[in-house]
Amino acid sequence: MVFTDLLLDTLRTLWAHKLRTFLTMFGIAWGIISITLMVAAGEGLRVGQQRQQETFAKDLMIIFDGRTSLQAGGLRAGREVRWEASDAPAAQQEATACRYVLPELEREDLKVRSLYNNATPTVTGSYPPFAEIRSISVEAGRFYDWGDEDAGRRVAFLGSNIKKQLFSSRPAVGETIILNDIPYTVIGMMTAKDQNSSYDGWDVDKIFVPFGAMLHDFPNKPPLLPTDIDQLLVVPKSLPEYEACKYQVKRALGRLHRFDPLDKEAAPVWDTVEQAKAFRKLMDAMTYFLGAIGITTLLLGGIGVMNVMLVAVRERTREIGVRKAVGASSRAILQQFFVETTIIVFLSGGAGMGIAYGLCGLVNLVPMPPFFAGMLPTWQSGTLSFAVLGTVAILSALYPATRAARVDPIEALRFEAGG
């Protein structure tokens, strides 16, 4: 029997038992749909959360000042550690695995006014790479550069919300704002962004100025020293150098402030790299769990296919006997039922895959919340689905086809359906 005749014969058999065929194929299709949709939802959540995280920063370590918990250099534990403006360039020079070591100084008590309104936002001072590592995009004008930093220029870059508060819909670039009676020229404003985490407030509500001007005009108040800063921002040159970068910076700071580099309390770290790793592990576990549910559903559908084919073998016992009596080999009978089963499995699996991808496309037409990137089916999930589908096809076809091939033609000719 050629494949075309076999396919037509299979389709006629399936059509003759429409309800039974539909229910059988539905189990396989639903398994494929389950795997694809659940993995796509997990991938959409993972990508969405990653994008949200990157709106705050990417591969960034924030090192806060702390209090020693270990003795070092003959000094007692419990000493307060404060970062100074000179720590950043010193650590940058020593930490060869780090791309950036930046100081950050903040004030939340400065009175800011424009010609149109007043505000009391957070004012942040750092070096020009701050915009890059904190994912700050420019909508108008520019961010301050090294020329501004080196010259000590009093220039300001506005977050999108504080720009609206100070200037409403008016252009802000080129205007002057007053920070505690000191005039600063607005040189740019940022693009609005959704931010899902922060250690000091949302960037859209801040004003950013060069570090030199910030340290000169608005140093921390006593009892802190005028050179004290709030935290250090550290970025490794690459992810493989991340651990080396962290240790080198803490070693440099430990030398400058006489504490043990392994003392976690002396230099607490908010580590976005570790956060990203932990989130990836969580999402991987969720993907495996959802995939396991889909695979289980698919295997249950395969059991349904096997039962249906066993019923078909029983119903067609007399037909098998006739075919064997006229010369059909056991191998030909085995091949026929094996191919019939695989046709059922792959037809229903292909339909399920098409439905799943169609549903993903429809869902993605709807506006998504910032933390969810939509239904994103991956090639890995498609490959897994078809690998499982092939396994199900073989397992569900093997036993019924073997039963059919072993039918004795004499007994089969005497067989009465329903008897």
Q: Could you tell me which residues come within 8 angstroms of residue 192 by beta carbon, excluding any fewer than 6 positions away?
A: 139, 160, 161, 204
SS3 141: strand
The pair of structure tokens assigned to 255 is 């030398």
The pair of structure tokens assigned to 39 is 């993995």
Backbone angles phi, psi at 131, to 5 degrees: -60, -40
Pairing of strands 206-210, 155-158: antiparallel
> How does DSSP classify residue 72?
B
Asked if 58 and 272 count as a contact pair (C-beta separation under 8 A), the reply is yes
Helices in 258-408 by DSSP H: which ranges? 272-315, 317-325, 330-363, 379-405
The pair of structure tokens assigned to 292 is 């396991």
Q: How far apart are CA 83 and CA 266, in angstroms?
A: 11
Query: Would you list the domain boundaries of the chain?
Result: 3-54+277-414, 61-271
Per the listing, tokens 């000091």 go with: 200
The string of DSSP letters for 206-222 reads EEEEEHHHHHHHSPPPT
Asked if 39 and 377 count as a contact pair (C-beta separation under 8 A), the reply is yes
> What pLDDT, on a 0 to 100 scale, did the predictor assign at position 317?
66
Q: How far apart are CA 323 and CA 87, in angstroms?
A: 89
Which residue in 170, 62, 56 sits closest to 116, CA to CA?
A: 170
Asked if 34 and 359 count as a contact pair (C-beta separation under 8 A), the reply is no
Can you list the residues of the chain whose pLDDT is less than 70?
1-3, 6, 10, 73-74, 196-197, 312-321, 324, 328, 330, 389, 393, 396-401, 403-419
Q: Could you tell me which residues come within 8 angstroms of residue 183 by beta carbon, excluding any fewer than 6 positions away?
A: 154, 176, 177
Q: How far apart are CA 215 and CA 85, in angstroms?
A: 8
Asked if 104 and 126 count as a contact pair (C-beta separation under 8 A), the reply is yes
